Amino acid sequence: MFKGEVYTIPKEKSLDRPRYWYFPGSLNAQKGRLFLRCCSSSLDFSTIDFRCIEYPEYNQTLEFAKICPNMSIPVLEIDDKIITDSRDIQRYLTEKYPSKGDAAVAADEGKTKKMEEFIESCLTWDEYLFSYRKLPNFLGASMHHIRLVCLSDAILDAAKDNSGINIDEDALLDGRTIREAYVRKIAQIRSMIQIGCEAETPELTKRISANDDCMDEIFRRASTMLTENSGVGTDCDDNNDASLLMGGDSTNIASADIYLAVAVIRMKWLDESYLDSKFDKYPNTRLWWEHFLTLPEAQVLLEDNDKRGTVLRMIKSGKPFKMLGCALGIYKAKPLPDDIERDVQAELKKLNEAYFSSN
Ligand SMILES: N[C@@H](CCC(=O)N[C@@H](CS)C(=O)NCC(=O)O)C(=O)O
């Protein structure tokens, strides 16, 4: 839903060390942290300025929209670039600071093609649909509620006469005006509420089932890659050498491993029996996962997915009060001016049509 971009900024405005905007619970941000963790030694992980934001509040502010017009995470500021999409982050890092695993893949045309195909198939999995349909409904709905409160506060503040901002003329990095960016974002969140939190319609049931087929295809491909690249047999009986998806040195993670790992840990969090059914069907993928977790680089993924840390972060950022406020109807988005509301409705209609016509 939030396809980002790569923006080039004047060299004199570029930072002297990379800055990474993220939140540990975000799957796309987890990917980015792992890409950075696995990069070549010319990019020292310990020198990166990691900005863990208050999510999903801070990313809706105009301050954040100025670096990422979609108001989504992750964002990587590096060299003379601002990169607002995890796929673009992966491509940039693979080109400029390749991990040992990705460098080995790049040296082999056949493997490069296979890895690209694998990543593309991972990207067709609708992580949002999976996650929000599994999350307790009150939790998903309140997170969206928080987004809508922050979005309307931000656009209403910017539209005030004394704000010094012209929402119809001041443009963001992608050329959209502030009004356009906020109208779209509010419509996106309303559409996400319908898709992820409201009663399941027959159309949604079809999407959920297609999404399951998609995950099955990802595991089938992963299993085949393990057999072809690593010699790990599909039934695990013949060879117990743990290995990685692209083969080669089994200590060198490649991007393909990262795409699969973030999806696996998301499934583990939300529906462990679902994950087990995939591991049971493709047993060598279970072996891959067990091996992946032993690698030092994988520890950032475990850190990001630490359950105790997540609960503490939620408490610290006042989420329980906001959720209670949502339930009692006292924490709610301020109404939008008529013209903005009309634009949001029109955009919402377009988004829903596009979502249900694509498959
Ligand atoms: N295509 C983008 C998607 C990024 C995305 O959807 N990020 C989510 C968090 S996982 C987000 O920031 N959503 C907007 C919000 O929560 O307001 C990417 O891969 O980086």
Per DSSP, the residues of 68-87 read -TT--S-EEEETTEEE--HH
Among the listed residues 224, 227, 5, 229, the one whose alpha carbon sits nearest the alpha carbon of residue 112 = 229
pLDDT for the residue numbered 230: 78
Residue 155 forms part of a structural domain: no
> Are 17 and 80 within 8 A, CB to CB?
no
pLDDT for the residue numbered 84: 98
Please give the structure tokens belonging to residue 158: 């910017």
pLDDT for the residue numbered 231: 62
Distance CA 86, CA 88 (A): 5
pLDDT for the residue numbered 171: 97
Q: What is the CA(130)–ligand 1 centre distance, in A?
A: 14
pLDDT for the residue numbered 235: 53
For each of the chain's 359 residues, which pLDDT tens digit applies?
Answer: 899 999 999 999 999 999 999 999 999 999 999 999 999 888 999 999 999 999 999 999 999 999 999 999 999 999 999 999 999 999 999 999 999 999 999 999 999 999 999 999 999 999 999 999 999 999 999 999 999 999 999 999 999 999 999 999 999 999 999 999 999 999 999 999 999 999 999 999 999 999 999 999 999 999 999 999 976 555 555 444 569 999 999 999 999 999 999 999 999 999 999 999 999 999 999 999 999 999 999 999 999 999 999 999 999 999 999 999 999 999 999 999 999 999 999 999 999 999 988 76
Whether the CB of 76 sits within 6 Å of ligand 1: no
Distance CA 212, CA 126 (A): 9
pLDDT for the residue numbered 351: 96
Residue 65 forms part of a structural domain: yes
pLDDT for the residue numbered 242: 62
CB neighbours (10 Å) of residue 313?
Answer: 17
Residue 168 forms part of a structural domain: no
Residue 193 forms part of a structural domain: no
Helices 27-38 and 86-96 pack at an angle, to 10 degrees, of 10
CB neighbours (10 Å) of residue 247?
Answer: 21
Whether the CB of 128 sits within 6 Å of ligand 1: no
Rounded to the nearest 5°, which phi and psi values hold at 72? -125, 160
Half-sphere exposure of residue 280, counting CA atoms within 13 Å on the CB side? 6
Whether the CB of 4 sits within 6 Å of ligand 1: yes
Q: What is the CA(283)–ligand 1 centre distance, in A?
A: 31
Residue 40 forms part of a structural domain: yes
Residue nearest to atom 13 of ligand 1 (CA): 72
> Are 285 and 222 within 8 A, CB to CB?
yes
Whether the CB of 2 sits within 6 Å of ligand 1: yes
Whether the CB of 304 sits within 6 Å of ligand 1: no
Please give the structure tokens belonging to residue 267: 């499934």
Overall number of domains in the chain:
1
pLDDT for the residue numbered 121: 98
pLDDT for the residue numbered 319: 96
Distance CA 338, CA 168 (A): 15
Residue 16 forms part of a structural domain: yes
Contact residues for 43 (Cβ-Cβ < 8 A; gap 6+):
18, 36, 93, 97
pLDDT for the residue numbered 41: 83
Range of the domain at 93: 6-98
Residue 161 forms part of a structural domain: no
Ligand 1 mutation pick, 7, 28, 122, max ligand atoms within 8 A of CB: 28
Distance CA 203, CA 118 (A): 27
Contact residues for 279 (Cβ-Cβ < 8 A; gap 6+):
285, 286, 289
Residue nearest to atom 10 of ligand 1 (CA): 26
Atom of ligand 1 nearest to the CA of 85: 20
CATH (domain of 12) = 3.40.30.10
pLDDT for the residue numbered 96: 95
Distance CA 293, CA 316 (A): 29
Whether the CB of 291 sits within 6 Å of ligand 1: no
Contact residues for 336 (Cβ-Cβ < 8 A; gap 6+):
152, 155, 156, 186, 344
Please give the structure tokens belonging to residue 276: 């087990």
Residue 156 forms part of a structural domain: no
Contact residues for 74 (Cβ-Cβ < 8 A; gap 6+):
20, 21, 22, 26, 28, 29, 31, 32, 33, 86, 89
Q: What is the CA(72)–ligand 1 centre distance, in A?
A: 4
